[in-house]
Structure 1
Amino acid sequence: MALANWQSAGLSKKGWANVTSGVTRAMVIAGIKVHRRRRNFKLSLSWEYLLAQMSRRDHDEIHRFAGWCSVHQIAPLSVNAGTFAAYLDYLTNETIQTNPRERWHVAHRAWNRAVVAEGEAFPVIPDIALPGWRGLDWSAFPEALVAEFDQYEKKMLVGDLLADEEIRPLKPITIKGYKDKFRWYLSRLVESGVPIETFSSLNACVAVELVKRGIHAHLGGRPLDDKSRPGLHAMMTAILSVANHVGVGTEQRALLHKLARKVRHRPTGMTEKNRNRLAQFKDREARRMFIRAPFLVAQELKDISNPTAHQALRMQYAAIHALLLHLPVRVKNAAMLDLDKHIYRPPGKKAGRWRVHFEEGEVKNKVVIDAELNEKTSALLDLYVRVFRPRLMKKATSRLFINQHGVAKETCTVSKQFSKFVKRETGFIVNAHLLRHFAAFTFLEANPGHYETVRQLLGHKDIATTIRFYAGAETMNALERYDRLLARLMRSEGDGAKEHAPKVHGLDAEDL
């Protein structure tokens, strides 16, 4: 039920609540222990007293947990980690919460933030979520190795373009990724029985036999396939970078590159998750609802002159949606949009098309973005900037997308809030990057084979990248077009059409 799209089914929020209530009741009648998504428990006096002293936010976030404790006669002073573990079990197994773990985290954070501060009698509750494998900390490895890796980091940050073999500087986030992958590689080797003292230097760590053992340890008995290759590919990229830094010999470098080719990951299209999410828009009406969503929000809010913070943020999300629909840039570029640097508006505050420009150094693949938005999208952005964005500004800034404190939003924040906005307004489950795939598939469906246009639309350097990602959709569309052709031929008019139409398992052409 969490994945059901009640908006595209034409139901109102109240109508969907009635459906949910009916299904929940049916489950109870069938003997399935389940509670409604929102259940109002009566608070005990001790919990009422505690919550009365809290802010509205803390009160709302811990209220459900307090009610559950009241029903089970658990006083605030009796709460411990076991209590929260039992609450998570309740949310997971006895409710129809869309995201029970997140609901648990809301109560858990509110407890540590608002209740523990009241006095030492209330314990801090640790996060009981099981952490994934993280490997050994760098402090577990020899100091000499750690110091040498620090030197490698510093060198790679600045690069050396005048060296015999040019060393291009790496971004801090890239170096961080290499450092993590290299540490995980060493950790897997330790787990496989390699003494930690073996890693006396970076040169010792990239010995060919050790790298082979590290690959097998990383696989852990799994096959070398499309699921295991991405991690190994990333690990080998880090190892090769370190090997180049320490200057391994020609023969050793060739063997390491040979290993890297064996585990190389070549993406041949979208992930299965993104393919499934795009399938939501196979129906034309669903696609139409998705495209119209931001403009319907703008239409609803257009007469507001003094917006609330909530209305300003809702309009902001609509602006992000409209922008990514009509200019499918990467979400990082959308998040960094600056009114003074990247956006050119018609002079004199006149209505008209906005132009967006990014220099090559601001784009992931170093391809300049220079595009003109259509009138409708430009008008929506103009409305957001004139009426709604000032409500969020607490200090001077030219960044387009800011939070309630007037601070520019980070990429991850824009992405997460956009996904929540689309789910809330339309019921579709999307991420910001999916709009690039949406643009490509929508265009290719209407214009089969026009990969060059898609390449320019998405800013790919090489058309091979475009074809590799979207040829699968072309094949699917080709089959659908061929099926429609066959259906038209079978329905073709003529005296002999019915007489000669083939039969399949007793069904004639009209049945098909």
Structure 2
Amino acid sequence: MIYWYKSSRIAASRRFPRTDNGNHRKMSFEQLPLPLEPPPASSLRAPSFAEALDLIPTWEDVPATRRRDMASALKGAARIIGQPEATIPCDVPWLNQRLFAKRPAVAGTARARFANIVSLVRATLRRLALHTPPRRGHADLPEAWRAVLEVLPDGPGRSCLRGFARFCAGRGLLPAQVNDEAVADYAAEDSRTRLSASSANRARTVATAWNAAVRAGHPGWPPHELASLRRRETYVLPIEAFPESFREDFELYRQRISRTDETGRRRARFVTRGAGGPKIRLRPRTISTRLFCVRQAGSILVREGLPAEELRSLRDLVEPSDRAGLVLDWIADRHAAKHGLGENAEVKGGQISQVAETLRQVAVHHVRLAGPDLAAVKEFANAVKRRPGDGMSPKVLQRLRRLIQRRPRALLLHLPDELMAEARAERRPVVAARLALWATALEILMFCPLRVGSLLELRLDRNLQRLDPRTGRLTRLVLYPDNVKNKEPLDWPVPPRSAALIDEYISKFRPAVADVDNPYVFPGEDGAGARSYTGLSGRLTRLIADYCEVDVHLHLVRHLAAWRYLKEYPGRYEDVRRLLGHRDIRTTQAFYIAFESEASAVRFDGIILREKQATRTIAAAAWAGRRKARRGGKAPGGTS
């Protein structure tokens, strides 16, 4: 095993020769040989945080205060990651994936402290020659690169392109020779050698800054643009990557599930099964999910070695049925590897269930599959589908238990008021309107635990009702069957305090971010239509993480509502079913029986405690007698 460290005076590889018993014998740093060049990356093994903590006190050229801060930063990073120091390698790619996985507040760390930890960890990695050295300015670059960088205005774009220019100059590339391959190579090198939350998006950032310089027409800047790469590399191929016959069948499937014709016009509202469409109209988000799952299944088959030319239609996804099984196995293996599960771990629900159900519907309704292949596809879908009796997944239950702790729960309950107070103090109208929008969305979820899709569809002219013409105050929140997932209407009273907050948002703040004729309570980013699912859910999730210091997803607010009610009224599952809009009470019981089990455990602990109190005198007398017998030379039980 070889470690690679760097001192301000020397650079050396640290080798631990094995002793006769097979253990490693450590050598002093001064005894190590001095290589002329660092060994290749493939032969390096990064030391652990624990080993780095042992090394830090030996860096006598570093001030004692700095060494103490570096050691404290490593321990703080280990606490944020949630692993012991001995199991965390000083490996930049490994740390990039885990150190920035949580927002600082969720890890219990202030933003300033987190930034300080990252800076000191970088310094430690540089000392170990495992991180790129800090470089400022561009005076050390070749003349060709200095000339083009100097025409850019000072700012983040110029700073980003400066690092890319240094990478290209090291490989002998001139500005006119830069291409997409150079950007990809730089992004790979950057993610391997630089500790940063933005390393995963470096290729996109560089391409965006480069293209902005091209469009600005700066003199001397190369005129060609670069491909704007995705923020996250995906294995799902675009529909254009499949044969023409597959694309035609894909379009027919889209028309069937969306009940439209080739021009995009909606067909009749009432259709029979013979017309080839679903009995009820699917939501746009459901349609896009189904179409994506079809492309996902086809892409996995191509990734696993099936030539794309053999996918002539959607039938080729499910016939033979082994192909559907291969797709689901691949998703299950990927999920297990991502979450550190065993090879035989059971994977249900979520993505694998969506893909399996889509393949089942394609087999049954679109290609009219029959025989053993159809039976196998149905069996696959049943095997990965979460049943009402399965309850919450362990991950969701763990997140909920963190949320119901007293501090984060209190912070969440008062978060709408805090955001609205910030909106009132904000001088910028658009920023203030957005703060008020988030506050209003959270306030509605607090007193009426809607699904996010229903929240997005709320309209001023339809769902917010004001029954008292004298006051004009908002009194009821009404959702019709087409607003609710299970088609059960909802008529909910609005508390006066919540009504005042909502009305303040609508009258004072909403006009700054909404078009005049936009009827939606939460307008889209451009002022038209409704806000997107990702835009609302993602932003609220980040706000809860920053303000309440817990990592949640927005649907968890519904679970919190059930927990709050059952805590106050144990066993009243029918009330919770109505509260959340479940069709079947078995779903409610399966999801929230864990709350009853926890309450039973607390009650049982109380019984044990009371019994211990009642029998304390008897036990004390018995133990005193046994101690007296031991002092008299008698063994317990009366024998000598």
TM-score w.r.t. length of structure 1 = 0.76
Tell me whether 1:25 sits opposite 2:135 in the alignment.
no
Assess if the C-alpha contact under 8 Å between 1:312 and 1:388 holds in 2. Answer: yes
Using the TM superposition, give the Cα deviation of residue 90 of structure 1 relative to its aligned residue in structure 2, in angstroms: 3.7
The residue that corresponds to 1:215 in the other structure is 325
The residue that corresponds to 1:227 in the other structure is 347
Cα distance change of structure 1 residues 128 and 365 upon mapping to structure 2, 3 Å threshold? closer
Assess if the C-alpha contact under 8 Å between 2:321 and 2:373 holds in 1. Answer: no
Using the TM superposition, give the Cα deviation of residue 343 of structure 1 relative to its aligned residue in structure 2, in angstroms: 0.6
Using the TM superposition, give the Cα deviation of residue 201 of structure 1 relative to its aligned residue in structure 2, in angstroms: 6.8
Query: For the residues of structure 2 that align with 1:94 and 1:295, how far apart are their CA atoms?
Result: 40
Deviates more, 1:146-155 or 1:455-464: 146-155
SS at match of 1:270: coil
Query: For the residues of structure 1 that align with 2:405 and 2:623, how far apart are their CA atoms?
Result: 30
Assess if the C-alpha contact under 8 Å between 1:116 and 1:124 holds in 2. Answer: no
Deviates more, 1:240-249 or 1:467-476: 240-249
Using the TM superposition, give the Cα deviation of residue 429 of structure 1 relative to its aligned residue in structure 2, in angstroms: 2.5
SS at match of 2:229: coil
Q: How does 1:124-203 map to 2 (within 5 A)?
A: 124-127=226-229, 131-134=233-236, 137=239, 140-141=242-243, 143=245, 147=248, 150-156=251-257, 157=259, 160-161=271-272, 163=274, 168-171=279-282, 173-182=285-294, 185=297
Q: Deviations over 1:306-364 (max 9, x none)?
A: 75211221121111121212211111121222111111136468385532111102211
Amino acid at match of 1:161: T
The residue that corresponds to 1:505 in the other structure is none
Tell me whether 1:459 sits opposite 2:581 in the alignment.
yes
Query: For the residues of structure 1 that align with 2:312 and 2:534, how far apart are their CA atoms?
Result: 38
Cα distance change of structure 1 residues 243 and 6 upon mapping to structure 2, 3 Å threshold? closer
* Rg comparison, structure with higher value: 2
Query: For the residues of structure 2 that align with 1:117 and 1:366, how far apart are their CA atoms?
Result: 52
Q: Deviations over 1:79-109 (max 9, x none)?
A: 65535643564466533x4454246644543
Assess if the C-alpha contact under 8 Å between 1:219 and 1:228 holds in 2. Answer: no
Amino acid at match of 1:324: L
Amino acid at match of 2:194: E
Query: For the residues of structure 1 that align with 2:228 and 2:514, how far apart are their CA atoms?
Result: 36
The residue that corresponds to 2:186 in the other structure is 86
The residue that corresponds to 2:22 in the other structure is none
The residue that corresponds to 2:542 in the other structure is 420
Amino acid at match of 2:593: A
The residue that corresponds to 2:595 in the other structure is 473
Tell me whether 1:383 sits opposite 2:497 in the alignment.
no
Tell me whether 1:324 sits opposite 2:324 in the alignment.
no
Amino acid at match of 2:447: H
Amino acid at match of 2:234: G
Deviates more, 1:191-200 or 1:340-349: 191-200
Query: For the residues of structure 1 that align with 2:470 and 2:347, how far apart are their CA atoms?
Result: 52
Q: Deviations over 1:172-224 (max 9, x none)?
A: 554554455455556666777878787777678755xx114531464259567
The residue that corresponds to 1:510 in the other structure is none
Query: For the residues of structure 2 that align with 1:164 and 1:121, how far apart are their CA atoms?
Result: 54
Query: For the residues of structure 1 that align with 2:301 and 2:525, how far apart are their CA atoms?
Result: 47
Using the TM superposition, give the Cα deviation of residue 259 of structure 1 relative to its aligned residue in structure 2, in angstroms: 5.5
Deviates more, 1:457-466 or 1:195-204: 195-204
Deviates more, 1:401-410 or 1:343-352: 343-352
Q: How does 1:308-347 map to 2 (within 5 A)?
A: 308-345=429-466, 347=468
Cα distance change of structure 1 residues 174 and 379 upon mapping to structure 2, 3 Å threshold? closer
Using the TM superposition, give the Cα deviation of residue 410 of structure 1 relative to its aligned residue in structure 2, in angstroms: 1.7
Deviates more, 1:224-233 or 1:371-380: 224-233
Cα distance change of structure 1 residues 264 and 291 upon mapping to structure 2, 3 Å threshold? closer
The residue that corresponds to 1:432 in the other structure is 554
Assess if the C-alpha contact under 8 Å between 1:185 and 1:235 holds in 2. Answer: no
Amino acid at match of 2:152: L
SS at match of 1:437: helix
Q: How does 1:285-296 map to 2 (within 5 A)?
A: 285-296=407-418
Task: Mark the runs of 5 or more structure 1 residues left unpaired by the alignment.
Answer: 53-58, 503-512
Amino acid at match of 1:94: R
Using the TM superposition, give the Cα deviation of residue 426 of structure 1 relative to its aligned residue in structure 2, in angstroms: 3.3
Query: For the residues of structure 2 that align with 1:23 and 1:196, how far apart are their CA atoms?
Result: 45
Deviates more, 1:340-349 or 1:127-136: 127-136
Query: For the residues of structure 2 that align with 1:406 and 1:164, how far apart are their CA atoms?
Result: 38
Q: Among residues 259, 263, 266, which one is paired with 2:387 in the alignment? A: 266
Task: Mark the runs of 5 or more structure 2 residues left unpaired by the alignment.
Answer: 1-79, 81-99, 140-145, 260-266, 334-342, 625-640
SS at match of 1:414: helix
Tell me whether 1:51 sits opposite 2:182 in the alignment.
no
TM-score w.r.t. length of structure 2 = 0.63
Tell me whether 1:371 sits opposite 2:492 in the alignment.
yes
Query: For the residues of structure 1 that align with 2:455 and 2:112, how far apart are their CA atoms?
Result: 35
Assess if the C-alpha contact under 8 Å between 2:467 and 2:475 holds in 1. Answer: yes
Cα distance change of structure 1 residues 425 and 449 upon mapping to structure 2, 3 Å threshold? same
Q: Among residues 516, 520, 526, which one is paired with 1:395 in the alignment? A: 516
The number of equivalent residue pairs is 485
How many percent of aligned residue pairs carry the same amino acid?
21
